[in-house]
């Protein structure tokens, strides 16, 4: 029995944080019903490239779900949704604070209708506070939380991150964690609750070391100077002779000595605490003497925490990930199949293990016509 079998989720969210959260719930057995705008649906449907009739982004994030097209501003919208709301376990919404209340779908209204409802609101800055209604995106959240200032390029300017850390790490994962905790709590209390998930708030967890250094020792980290932000030769990206890159992370002494042996670093430069910049420059010169393939051969079988920087395409072809079944489940549409979005859920808890598609807009509108749900 899937762990979330019998759990019904009504998903009012769009784009990334909420849909990815409900995808995780769907993968664990929950029935997820998306509530979308008639005509256009989730804005993500319009993105490119296409996979089937909609964007591949939408397809990846909404595999195995159901879809209802409904104008939430219509006078009868709440009445038509009421049977589903009475039978729902979880609500996920991503509007600005106050929007769902104005639609008659706020927590107070729904909890009076269904006291067991778990109501999860995902926003950038939370349901309260001076910035609660401020429009922003992932880059803004990591900028205001101090995270962006910890990264720096060669010119000292902050570097755009390669992943949407706030959306996923600050929004999706905390939402799922708290929904699961709320479901467990409901088993004891019989009542649901409201969850206020603020993406910007949840970024501080990722900067534990920066907070610790600053608050305990008044050593506030600077970009390019802290241990894992470019200040150490033991945690660096080095360029090879053929303009590829080595990700070197031999932080511990045993790994560092193995690394120094492998690249032939002079003994007087191995004490990197004495002159980190000189050691870093010396390591860079050594790495620049060989091609990526030559270094890969040198590092093979050695315990030194180093690897080549791979492209996404190369990572997909890595036999390690294939052997672990990371790309085993399939997403289907229009007679095509591609690997589904990998999920951080143990295989024994997953329900969408084989092939599954994504819902056409309004494909499940018959659910609105049922008197009970």
Q: Please give the Cα distance from 352 to 61 (Å, whole number).
A: 13
Cα 315 → chain centroid: 18
Q: How many CB atoms are located within 10 Å of the residue 291 CB?
A: 13
DSSP 346: -
Query: Catalytic one among 11, 167, 201, 272?
Result: 167
| Sheet of strand 193-198: strand arrangement | 66-69, 31-36, 8-11, 90-93, 118-123, 193-198
Inter-axis angle of helices 276-287 and 253-263, nearest 10? 50
The SS3 call for residue 200 is: coil
- Count of beta carbons in the 10 Å neighbourhood of residue 168: 17
Of 150, 153, 179, the closest CA to residue 165 belongs to 150
Catalytic residue chosen out of the listed positions 71, 76, 101, 137: 137
- C-alpha–C-alpha distance, residues 142 and 32, integer Å: 30
d(CA 62, CA 236): 37
167 catalytic? Reply is yes
179-189 burial code (b ≥16 CB/10 A, e <16): bbebbeebeee
The answer to whether the beta carbons of residues 8 and 90 sit under 8 Å apart is yes
Q: What whole-number distance in Å separates Cα of residue 309 and Cα of residue 315? A: 10
Contact between 344 and 23 (Cβ < 8 Å): no
Q: Which three-class secondary structure state does DSSP give residue 11?
A: strand
> What Rg, from alpha-carbon coordinates, does the chain have?
25
Is the CA virtual torsion 130, 132, 136, 139 positive or negative? positive
Residues noted as catalytic = 137, 167
């Amino acid at each position: 029995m899937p762990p979330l079998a019998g759990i019904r989720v009504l998903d009012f969210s769009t784009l990334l944080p909420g849909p990815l959260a409900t995808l995780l719930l769907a993968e664990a057995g929950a029935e997820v019903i998306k509530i979308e705008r008639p005509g256009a649906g989730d804005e993500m449907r319009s993105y490119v490239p296409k996979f089937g009739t909609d964007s591949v982004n939408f397809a990846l994030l909404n595999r195995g779900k159901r879809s209802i097209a409904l104008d939430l501003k219509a006078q009868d919208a709440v009445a038509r949704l009421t049977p589903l709301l009475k039978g729902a376990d979880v609500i996920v919404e991503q509007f600005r604070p106050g929007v769902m209340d104005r639609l008659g779908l706020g927590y107070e209204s729904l909890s009076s209708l269904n006291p067991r409802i778990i109501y999860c609101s995902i926003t950038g800055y939370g349901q309260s506070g001076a910035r609660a209604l401020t429009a922003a995106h992932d880059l803004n959240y990591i900028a205001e939380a101090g995270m962006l200032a910890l990264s720096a390029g060669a010119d000292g300017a902050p570097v755009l991150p390669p992943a949407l850390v706030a959306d996923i790490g600050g929004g999706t994962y905390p939402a799922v964690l708290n929904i699961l905790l709320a479901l467990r709590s409901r088993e004891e209390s019989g009542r649901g609750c409201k969850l206020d998930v603020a993406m910007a708030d949840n970024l501080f967890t990722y900067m534990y070391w920066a907070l610790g250094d600053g608050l305990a020792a008044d050593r506030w980290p600077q970009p390019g100077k802290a241990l894992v932000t470019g200040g150490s030769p033991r945690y660096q990206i080095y360029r090879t002779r053929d303009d590829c890159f080595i990700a070197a992370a031999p932080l511990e002494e045993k790994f560092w000595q193995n690394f120094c042996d492998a690249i032939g670093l002079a003994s007087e430069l191995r004490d990197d605490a004495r002159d980190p910049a000189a050691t870093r420059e010396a390591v860079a010169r050594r790495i620049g003497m060989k091609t990526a393939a030559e270094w890969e051969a040198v590092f093979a079988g050695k315990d030194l925490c180093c690897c080549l920087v791979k492209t996404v395409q190369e990572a997909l072809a890595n036999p390690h990930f294939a052997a672990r079944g990371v790309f085993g489940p399939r997403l289907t549409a229009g007679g095509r199949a591609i690997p589904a979005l990998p999920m951080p859920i143990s295989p024994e808890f997953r329900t969408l293990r084989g092939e599954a598609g994504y819902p056409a807009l309004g494909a499940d509108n018959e659910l609105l016509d049922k008197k009970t749900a």
